[in-house]
Each structure stands twice: as structure tokens, then as C-alpha cells.
Amino acid sequence: MSLRADINGVICGMQTPFFTTTSRFLATLVCVGALAGCAQTSPVSSGSQWQSQATVANTLSPELQQFFNNSAEQASAYFDHTPWGSHADVIVQSQYYAGSGRDCLRLQVIPAAQTTKIAIACKQDSQWVSVRPVTQLLNAQ
């Protein structure tokens, strides 16, 4: 007797409906499992996943809040205390809408007796917060 398989599932002269039925069942089970996995959704939080929560540590002073709320590009002001240094001139270089969904300001900060710094402030939950520029993250690597 020779080993051969034909379309009817005959191997070595024996009918093998077990393999055909089992393989069809397993294939169906895999397809149903894959579709069920694709149909499930992950829970969505109420806020944006990319936005950090505003904390007391990075919320800016009332003076800076007022300046940023009323400032246009190239506006400048002097502040005794900022998160970026004491006795600093703060210049709004540009305003933009960030990918995180927030309104942001790119700032040039010139603290007394220190080098000029680039800073970012973004509006989050109606408050301006200090945000680390992405370039600082890239340069740190």
C-alpha cells in the first residue's frame, strides 16, 4: 500500500475525517478569536494621553500668567523670579498650537548674569505651565 493523499482525505487507504473536522474547527476558532480581539476597544481617559497633569511645581506665577495671557509675539517683560532664572527678561518669540492640543509660547529668557535660554510655556486647564522644549530632550541623549 502506498502513502498518498487525495482530495477525499484518504491517507494509506484510511478515511481521515477527524483531521479535516478538527482543522476546520481550529481555523474557525482562530478567526473568531482574531475578530473578537480586533473588536475590543481600549478604555479612553477623559484627558489627552499626551498632556501631563498641571502641578503646582510647573504652574507659573500670576505675573507670568497675566503676561502670557495678554502678550503678542515679540512682547517682552522683566520678572524678578521665573522658573528659568531670577531677574530675567522674558521675550515671546512665537505662539503656536502644539501637537499635544495646547496653545504654546516659545520664549527667549535672558536671566541676569547667565546665558540666554529658550523656554516653552503651554496653556493647560486655563493655566500656563512651564514645559521642557523637545530639543532639550534630544540633546540630552
Q: Please state the domain count of the chain.
A: 2
Tell me if 117 sits within 8 A of 84, measured CB to CB: yes
Q: Do both 66 and 126 map to the same domain?
A: yes
Residue 5 in any domain: the answer is no
Q: Do both 77 and 21 map to the same domain?
A: no
Amino acid residing at 1? M
Q: Do both 89 and 34 map to the same domain?
A: no
Give residues with Cβ within 8 angstroms of 50, minimum separation 6.
Answer: 99, 100, 101
Q: Do both 30 and 74 map to the same domain?
A: no
- Write out pLDDT tens, residues 70-83: 989 999 999 999 99
- Residue 5 pLDDT more than 80? no
Q: Whole domain around residue 21: which residue ranges? A: 10-39
Residue 3 in any domain: the answer is no
- Write out pLDDT tens, residues 18-63: 567 777 888 888 877 777 776 666 555 444 444 444 444 578 999 9
